[in-house]
């Protein structure tokens, strides 16, 4: 039952990601991007990483997606017709993406490590929140502090960039 | 099942790369980066299911933090470019240096 659901959600994720890419309008593309993120969060939950699924929904659809929508609304008076629909050098981009997929697929399908990983794959193992938090606050505390400094630097950087408005106007 | 998840993540990453390279709109490029990183996250979680520890979950948490920072800075640059250059074209970003 869960395996069927995972496969259905995988197909849906690929479909919505393709629609995100090929949508003619940026607002439509953003909404399909949100749906893709929701579906990936559901896949996370189905494979037993409930914490990550919840964080994905909260951080992306509650944070990043709203940021995208606000940016679109703040620049809503701009004519998007010349940029939203067009592709810049699409053949080169398709070739690079295709070769990336081909090379990584080949490496994964021929790798001994991945063949061994496939045999030990266990869908029913649920990630324990206690184990994750214990590891995060003991083994990875330095990286956690670094990421908090990074977030602080981002806030300062965004404020510095957008402070430029008064000088320009 | 394992291979289905792996190929899904690779396909989503490839679509992200295509979007990153082919679009001219800054928001579309940022969405492409997000798609790419989400595909990588899915690959991490799939591989994590084959091991007995949950280190991949922690890596994904850090990737999410970095992604949030990247999007915030990217959108700030996008708004700045739109205010100064009156354009949303990625090719005009180098004009910000002169301001």
Q: What is the mean pLDDT of each run of 10 residues along chain B (99 residues)?
A: 86 90 82 90 84 76 85 84 74 69
Structure tokens at B37: 């990183």
Judging contacts by C-beta atoms under 8 Å, the chain B residues touching residue A97 are 14-15, 17-18, 21
Among A35-49, A119-133, B15-29, the minimum mean pLDDT is found in A119-133
In the 8-state DSSP scheme, what is residue B87? -
Neighbours of B98 (CB within 10 A): 6
Q: What is the pLDDT of residues A65-114, one digit of tens each?
A: 888 888 888 776 555 555 555 666 778 888 888 888 899 888 888 887 77
Q: How many CA atoms lie within 13 A of A38 on its CB side?
A: 11
d(CA B20, CA B57): 26
CA B42 to chain centroid, in Å, comes to 13
What is the pLDDT at residue A61?
75
List all residues of chain A from 41 to 60 with a beta carbon under 8 Å from chain B. Answer: 43-44, 47-49, 51-52, 55-56, 59-60
CATH number, domain with residue B77: 1.10.287.3510
d(CA A116, CA A156): 46
What is the pLDDT at residue A59?
79
d(CA B75, CA A158): 9
Judging contacts by C-beta atoms under 8 Å, the chain A residues touching residue B46 are 47, 121
On the question of pLDDT at A50 being above 70, the answer is yes
Q: Which residues of A146-168 are buried (b: 16+ CB within 10 A; e: fewer)?
A: ebeeeeeebeeebeebeebeeee
Tell if the CB–CB gap between A121 and B61 is shorter than 8 Å. Answer: no
What is the pLDDT at residue B36?
92
d(CA B37, CA A143): 19
Chain B: closest CA distance from residue A159 (Å): 8
On the question of pLDDT at A51 being above 70, the answer is yes
Give B9's contacts (C-beta < 8 A, 6+ positions apart): B39, B40, B41, B42, B43, B46
Total domains present in chain B:
1
d(CA A161, CA A166): 11
d(CA B80, CA A15): 33
Q: What is the ipTM of this complex?
A: 0.85
Interface test with B, best of A24, A71, A99, A129 (most B CBs within 10 A): A71
On the question of pLDDT at A167 being above 60, the answer is no
Region A149-161: mean pLDDT is 87
Judging contacts by C-beta atoms under 8 Å, the chain B residues touching residue A95 are none
What is the pLDDT at residue B3?
82
What is the pLDDT at residue B14?
92
What is the pLDDT at residue B98?
62
Q: Nearest to residue B9, comparing CAs of A120, A165, A104?
A: A104
CA A35 to chain centroid, in Å, comes to 11
Q: Which helix (H) or strand (E) holds A39?
A: helix A26-46
On the question of pLDDT at A40 being above 70, the answer is yes
Structural domain harbouring B55: 2-98
Average pLDDT, chain A: 80
């Amino acid at each position: 039952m869960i395996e069927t659901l995972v496969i259905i959600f995988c197909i849906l994720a690929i479909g919505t990601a393709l629609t995100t890419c090929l949508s003619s309008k940026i607002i439509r593309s953003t909404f399909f991007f949100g749906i893709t993120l929701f579906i990936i969060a559901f896949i996370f939950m189905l494979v037993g990483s409930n914490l990550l699924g919840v964080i994905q929904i909260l951080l992306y659809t509650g944070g990043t997606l709203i940021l995208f929508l606000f940016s679109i609304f703040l620049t809503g008076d701009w004519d998007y017709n010349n940029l939203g629909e067009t592709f810049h050098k699409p053949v080169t981009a398709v070739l690079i993406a295709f070769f990336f997929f081909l090379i990584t697929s080949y490496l994964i399908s021929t790798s001994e490590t991945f063949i061994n990983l496939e045999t030990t794959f266990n869908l029913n193992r649920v990630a324990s929140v206690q184990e994750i938090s214990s590891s995060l606050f003991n083994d990875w505390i330095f990286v956690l502090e670094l990421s908090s400094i990074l977030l602080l630097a981002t806030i300062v950087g965004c404020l510095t960039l957008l402070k430029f408005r008064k000088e320009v106007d | 099942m394992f291979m289905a998840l792996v190929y899904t993540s690779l396909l989503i990453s490839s679509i992200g790369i295509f979007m990153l390279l082919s679009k001219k709109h800054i928001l579309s490029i940022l969405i492409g980066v997000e798609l790419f990183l989400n595909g990588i996250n899915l690959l991490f979680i799939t591989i994590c299911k084959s091991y007995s520890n949950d280190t991949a979950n922690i890596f994904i948490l850090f990737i999410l933090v970095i992604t949030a920072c990247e999007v915030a800075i990217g959108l700030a640059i996008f708004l700045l470019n739109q205010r100064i250059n009156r354009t949303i074209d990625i090719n005009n970003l180098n004009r910000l240096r002169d301001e």
